[in-house]
Structure 1
Amino acid sequence: MEQYACMVDLMAREGQFTEIMEFIGKMPFEPNAAIWGSLLGASRIYSNPEIAEYAAQYLFELEPQISRNYILLDNIYSTLGRWEDAAKIRCLMKERGVTKLPGCSWTEVGRKVYSFIVGDMSHPLMDQIMAKMQSLYLEIKEIGYVPDTKFVLQDVEEAEKEFSLCGHSEKLALAFGLISTPAGTPLRIIKNLRVCGDCHLATKYISKVENREIIMRDNYRFHHFVNGACSCGDYW
C-alpha cells in the first residue's frame, strides 16, 4: 500500500489526475486514507474542486473525525469563492462534532519557548512585533511579494483580508524571532497546523530580505527557507 501511495503522490505533484484515477482503478486493493489524502492535497494545489470532492467523500468515511480533510475542502471552496459550499462543510463538521484547532506556533529564544495563537494580540511585545511585520511587508513587496488573500476564508473586503493575514501565528512567531535574536541567527518555528500559502510565500521573501535561515515545521513536513526559496519546492 505504501508503494502505491508514493506513486499517487508523485503523479499528484504533477497534477496528473486522469492518470491517478486510472492507476487507482487498477489497484489490487481498496485505496487507503493516505492515497485519498494525496489526491485531496493535490486538488488544493491545482484548484480542482471535482477531484477534491471525490477524494473527500472517501476520507470522510475513512477518517470521519480528522479535521484536516474537512478544512482542506473548505479551503478549496473558499478560494474559489464558493461560500455556500464552504459553509456546508463547516456545518457538516459541527454535526459530526469535528473541531478545528486554532493555529498556534512556537519559537525558542534564549532557551525559553514562546507561543503565538492566530489573532491573539496579548503578547507584551505585540506593538514591536506588528511594527516589524509592517516594515517587512514594505520590504518584501518591493521585491515582488503580493499578499495571497485567497487564504483568508471569510467573505470580507480585500484590505481586511490583507490585515487578517498579519495575525497568522507563524508570522507573529517569525516577527518576534527577528526582533529578539541577533542578525544572521537561524530561526526555528513549529506550527500545529499546515502553514498557509501566504505565510509560506511571505517567509520565502523574508528569508531573503533578512538574510536568515528559517526552519519551519508544520504538521505535514519541514520547510527550510534560505535566500527566498523553500526546500519543499512549494508543494506541501
Structure 2
Amino acid sequence: MIEPVQLPSPWRDERLTVVVPTYNEANNLPTLVERLLALPLPGMSILIADDNSPDGTGDVADKLSAEHPDRIQVVHRPGKEGLGRAYVDGIGRALDGGARFVAQMDADLSHPPEALPGMLGALLSTQAGVVIGSRYVPGGQLDEAWPLYRRALSGWANLYVHTLLQVRIRDLTAGFKIWRADALREIGLERVQSNGYSFQVEMHYLATKLGQTIVEVPIRFEERRDGVSKMTTATKIESALMPFRLRTRHRNIAP
C-alpha cells in the first residue's frame, strides 16, 4: 500500500466527490470506505450508487452512511442497469451537490484509494480536465495475480480502440480518474449513452474531441480479492461495437 501524498492547504480541502458504483460488493465496500476516509482529504465525500445488489451491498452502504452522514451518500437504483448508467446517475448527483471535482473508482479494491491525493494534486497543478490513474504509462503496474487472459484482453482492447478512434491515451479503458466539474459539464452527461465498460472509452473520446487536456499518472492495479468480475460476453460485444458507434454519434463535436 502506497503512502498518500500530503497536499498543501487549500488543495486538500477541495470539494471532491468519489463516485463508487456497486453491484454485489458487500464484502469489499467497508474496506474501501475505511481507506477512503483515512485519506488526508477533509473536503472529500463518497457517493455510492448501488444497483439493488442481491448480496445486501445497499444495506451495507446505508450502515456506512449512518456512521458518516456528512461524508457518505447512498443512491439506491432500481436494478442492474450497467456501469455506465450508474456512473451517469452518480456523477450527475455529485455535480448537482456542488462538487468541484469528481472521482470515479471501482468498489472491488483494484484501484488504490491512496493514489487519490496525488491524482488531485496533478489535476490542480495542470490545466487538465481529467487525470487518469493509468496501468500503462511508465511506472504503472498490474498485479501479478491478474490472469494472463485479462492482460491480453486489456492490451488488445486498448490497441483496438486506439486504432479506430485515434485517442492518445495509454489506458483507454481505465476506470480510475478525477475530473474537473467544468470538464464534465462541457462533455454533457446527456450525450453519454454507453452502458458497460465502454462508458470509459466514450468519456475519454468526448474529452479528446472537445480538446480537453488529459493527464495519466501511474498506479498499481490490484486483482480483486473478493467477489467476481462483472465483465460478461454482452459487455465484451458492446465494447467491440462501441468505437464504430462513437465515431458516428459524436462526429459533429468539436472544441
**TM-score relative to the length of structure 1:** 0.29
Larger helix fraction of residues: 1
Report the structure number with the largest CA radius of gyration. 1
**TM-score relative to the length of structure 2:** 0.28
Larger strand fraction of residues: 2
